Amino acid sequence: MKILVLNGSPKKGKSDTMKITNAFISGMKEFADQDVQIINTIDKHIEYCTGCFSCMRNGGICIHDDDMKEILDRILESDLLLCSFPVYCYGMPASLKALIDRTLPLSSMAMQKVGDRYEHIGQADFSKLRYLMICGCGFPNSEYNFEPAAAQFRLLFADNSTVVTIPESPMFNAPEAAVVTVPRLELVAKAGKQYAETGSIEPELLEQLCSPMIPEEQYAAIVNGTV
Ligand SMILES: Cc1cc2nc3c(=O)[nH]c(=O)nc-3n(C[C@H](O)[C@H](O)[C@H](O)COP(=O)(O)O)c2cc1C
């Protein structure tokens, strides 16, 4: 499978979330060979969308001449778009959001009703794409934290989208937390293998992945230096 990872963490290879993403991909590789490309969004020249809509009216040509042209080609070549990012202010980091805004050339102005809502009709064929969000965050709580980012992702990529959210993610870069992070990364790899095999993750496993690794109060006390 051709996997395009959009790494939205400005910490690039040192990202807490990428530790989770790498474990997920290693699980996918246990099932079958995978062709993985990683784009660190912070490194790319991506102008902001100006909202002119000319791309949606003229067959997908954007007014900007920057790295997005190549990125759109790479998205269209892929089977899986894997967005790996930390929660920033309850959403995605700005460099990844700028990239997502600039995928507008893939759609036309025309809209159609799908279920209860409207979607733009594509002007490129990306029907084979599946979408996966892997998201870390600094707080110990998943509720009242991941919901905006997860809802945005599901609305953007309604079909074939899977969302994995893991709280307390700075622990993945703390060697002293290995006693809880190593088993969690093993579970993540198990989910990756399952996803490669079946296209989904069992709800029980997903719930385990998304739970805090240590009790919330203990995590907060460690961060606050009160233990
Ligand atoms: C600008 C900014 C905003 C953040 N907003 C949130 C937030 O809303 N909720 C949260 O739990 N953590 C928040 N965090 C913490 C990061 O999600 C956390 O440090 C994460 O582990 C960083 O992951 P990374 O290493 O993959 O970049 C924020 C961090 C920054 C720098």
Q: What are the pLDDT digits (tens) for 85-103?
A: 999 999 999 999 999 999 9
Which of 43, 110, 124 minimizes the C-alpha distance to 78? 124
Mean pLDDT, rounded, for 136-154? 97
pLDDT of 159 strictly over 80: no
Return the structure tokens found at 23.
């474990």
Looking at residue 193, its pLDDT comes to 98
List pLDDT tens digits, range 122-131: 999 999 999 9
Gap from CA of 63 to ligand 1 centroid (Å): 32
Beta-bridge mates of residue 81:
4, 131
Output b/e per residue, 166-194; b: 16+ Cβ within 10 A: bbbbebbeeeebeeebeebbeebbbbbbb
Measure 33 CA to ligand 1 centroid, in angstroms: 32
107 in contact with ligand 1, CB cutoff 6 A: no
The band of 158, judged by pLDDT with boundaries at 50, 70 and 90, is confident
Across 121-130, 189-198, 214-223, least confident range: 121-130
10 Cα–ligand 1 center, Å = 11
Identify which of 19, 87, 95, 219 to mutate to test ligand 1's pocket (most ligand atoms within 8 A of the CB).
87
Q: Are 205 and 191 in contact (CB under 8 A)?
A: yes
Mean per-residue pLDDT, 158-166? 92
pLDDT in tens, 27-55: 999 999 999 999 999 999 999 999 999 99
Mean of pLDDT over the chain? 97
Q: Is the pLDDT of residue 208 over 90?
A: yes
Q: List the structure tokens of 172.
A: 């993945």
Q: Does the pLDDT of residue 199 top 80, yes or no?
A: yes
At residue 214 the predicted structure's pLDDT band, cuts being 50, 70 and 90, is very high
Mean pLDDT confidence for 208-218: 97
Instruction: Report the share of the chain in percent with pLDDT over 70.
Output: 100
Q: Is 148 in the pocket of ligand 1 (CB under 6 A)?
A: no
| Residue-range definition of the domain harbouring residue 151 | 2-224
Q: Is the CB of 136 under 6 A from ligand 1?
A: yes
CATH of residue 155: 3.40.50.360
Instruction: Output the CA 143–ligand 1 centroid distance in Å.
Output: 15
The alpha carbons of the chain give a radius of gyration, in whole angstroms, of 18
Which stretch of 43-47, 54-58, 205-209 has the lowest confidence by average pLDDT?
Answer: 54-58
Q: Domain count of the chain?
A: 1
137 Cα to the center of ligand 1, angstroms: 5
Q: Is the CB of 169 under 6 A from ligand 1?
A: yes
